[in-house]
Structure 1
Amino acid sequence: MTDVPMAATFIVVIGSASLLTVTARRLHPNDYLPSLDRWALSDRVLGTFWTWLLLGGTIFTAYTFTAVPGLVYGNGAPAFFALPYTVIVCPLAFILLPRMWTMAQKHGYVTAADFVRGQYRSAPLALVVALTGILATMPYLALQLLGIRAVLSAAGMPSRGIVSDIAMVVIFAGLAVATYRYGLRAPTVISLFKCVVIFASTLAICWLVLTRLGGTGTVFDAAATRLATSTGNTALLLTADQQPAFATLAAGSALALLMYPHVVTAAFAASGPSTLRRATVALPLWTAVLALFGLLGIAALAADVHTPPNGAETAVPMLIVRLMPGALAGVILGALTIGALVPAAVMSIAAATSFVRNVYVEYFDPTATPKRQVRIAKTVSLTAKAGATAFVFGLRDQDAINLQLLGGVWILQIFPAVAIGLYTRRLHPRALITGWAVGMVLGTVLVVHTGFSPLVPLGLPGRSLAFYAGLAAMLLNLTVAVVGTAVLNLIGKGPGARGD
Structure 2
Amino acid sequence: MTMQWTATYVFVGLFAFVTIMGFAAARWRAGDLNHINEWGLGGQRFGTMVTWFLLGGDLYTAYTFIAVPALVFTAGAIGFFAVPYTILVYPLVFLIFPRMWSVAKRHGFVTASDFVKGRYGHHGLALAVAITGIVATMPYIALQLVGLETVIGALGFDTHGAMGHMPLIIAFVILAAFTYSSGLRAPAMIAIVKDLLIYITVIAAVVIIPAKLGGYAAIFAAVPAERLTLATPPAGSMGAWSAYATLAFGSALALFLYPHSMTGVLSASSGHVIRRNAAILPAYSIVLALLSLLGYMAYASGVATKPEFIEGFAKYGPNFAVPALFLDQFHGWFVGVAFAAIGIGALVPAAIMSIAIANLFTRNIYKEYIRPDCTSEDEARMAKLVSLVAKAGALFFVLALDTRLAIQLQLLGGIWIIQTLPAVFFGLYTRWLDPRALLVGWAVGIGTGTWMAWTLNFKGSIWPLEIFGYTVPGYAAFFTVILNIVVAVVLTLILKAVSKTVHSDVTVATDYA
Q: Which band: TM-score by shorter chain?
A: over 0.9
* 1:179-328 correspondence to structure 2 within 5 Å: 179-224=179-224, 234-240=226-232, 241-306=239-304, 307-308=313-314, 311-328=317-334
* 1:77 match: secondary structure: helix
For residues 374-393 of structure 1, the aligned pairs below 5 Å read 374-393=380-399
Distance 2:315 2:160 in 1: 14
Point out the more displaced range, 170-179 or 41-50. 170-179
**CA distance in structure 1 between the partners assigned to 2:251 and 2:33 by the alignment:** 39
TM-score scaled by length of structure 2? 0.93
Q: Is the 8 A contact 1:70 1:316 kept in 2?
A: yes
How many Å apart are 1:461 and its aligned residue? 6.3
Deviation of residue 486 (structure 1)?
Answer: 0.5
CA distance in 1, matches of 2:342, 2:178: 20
**Counterparts of 1:71-220 in structure 2 under 5 Å?**
71-220=71-220
Give the aligned partner of residue 58 of structure 1. 58
Distance 1:57 1:141 in 2: 14
Query: Secondary structure at 1:466's aligned position in 2?
Result: strand
Match of 2:495 in 1: 488
Offset at residue 259 of structure 1 (A)? 0.6
Contact 1:175 1:186 in 2 (8 A): no
For structure 1, which segment, 115-124 or 170-179, has the greater mean C-alpha deviation from structure 2 after superposition?
Answer: 170-179
Equivalents in 2 of 1:131, 1:461: separation in Å? 36
Matching residue within 440, 445, 448 for 2:454: 448
The Cα of 1:331 is off from its aligned counterpart by 1.4
The code of the aligned residue for 1:5 comes to: T
- 8 Å CA contact 2:59–2:349 kept in 1: the answer is yes
State the number of aligned residues.
491
Displacement of 1:235 after TM fit?
2.5
Indicate how the Cα distance of structure 1 residues 156 and 465 shifts in structure 2: closer, same or farther if over 3 A, else same.
farther
Tell me the CA shift for residue 12 of structure 1: 1.0
| Alpha-carbon distance in 2 for matches of 1:274, 1:459 | 44
How far is the alpha carbon of 1:16 from its aligned partner? 1.3
Offset, 1:451? 2.1
8 A Cα contact 1:488 1:495, kept in partner: no
2:62–2:144 Cα contact (<8 Å) kept: yes
- The question of whether the paired residues in 2 share the 8 Å contact of 1:39 and 1:184 is answered with yes
Deviations 1:228-280 (Å, cap 9, x if unpaired)?
A: xxxxxx23111343111101011111111111000111111100000111112
What is the aligned partner in structure 1 of residue 307 from structure 2?
Answer: none
Deviation, 1:408, is 0.6
Contact 1:248 1:467 in 2 (8 A): yes
**Paired residues for 1:352-431 under 5 Å:** 352-431=358-437
Query: Greater CA deviation, 166-175 or 362-371?
Result: 166-175
Rounded Cα–Cα distance in structure 1 between residues aligned with 2:112 and 2:378: 21
More deviation in 464-473 or 243-252? 464-473
Identical-pair percentage? 44
Q: Distance in 2 between matches of 1:267 and 1:175?
A: 22
The verdict on how the C-alpha distance between 1:484 and 1:26 changes in structure 2, with shifts beyond 3 A counting, is: same
CA distances 1:314-359 after superposition (whole Å, capped 9, x unpaired): 1011100111111211111111110010000000000011000000
Tell whether the 8 Å contact from 2:150 to 2:316 is kept in structure 1 after alignment. no
Alpha-carbon offset, residue 398 of structure 1? 1.0
Residue 310 (structure 2) aligns with: none
Query: What is the rounded CA distance, in whole Å, between the counterparts of 2:231 and 2:344 in structure 1?
Result: 36
Instruction: Determine whether 1:347 maps to 2:334.
Output: no
Residue 156 of structure 1: CA displacement? Answer: 2.5
Q: Which runs of 5+ in 1 are unaligned?
A: 226-233
Shift of 1:23: 2.5
| Alpha-carbon displacement from aligned partner over 1:358-399 (angstroms, at most 9, x marks no partner) | 000000111100000000000000111011101111111211
Q: What CA distance in whole angstroms lies between the structure 1 residues aligned with 2:160 and 2:431?
A: 50
Q: For 1:355 and 1:163, how far apart are their aligned partners in 2?
A: 33
CA RMSD between the two structures: 1.5
Are 2:23 and 2:182, in contact at CA under 8 Å, matched by a contact in 1?
no
Q: 1:43 & 1:470 partners in 2: Cα distance?
A: 34
User: How far apart are 1:61 and its partner, in Å?
Assistant: 0.6
Q: CA deviation at 1:464?
A: 4.0
Alignment partners' CA distance in 1, 2:474 and 2:417:
17
Mapped contact 1:426–1:495 kept (Cα < 8 A): no
Q: Secondary structure at the match of 1:76?
A: helix
- Per-residue deviation, 1:494: 4.5
Q: Quick one: which amino acid aligns to residue 19 of structure 1? A: I
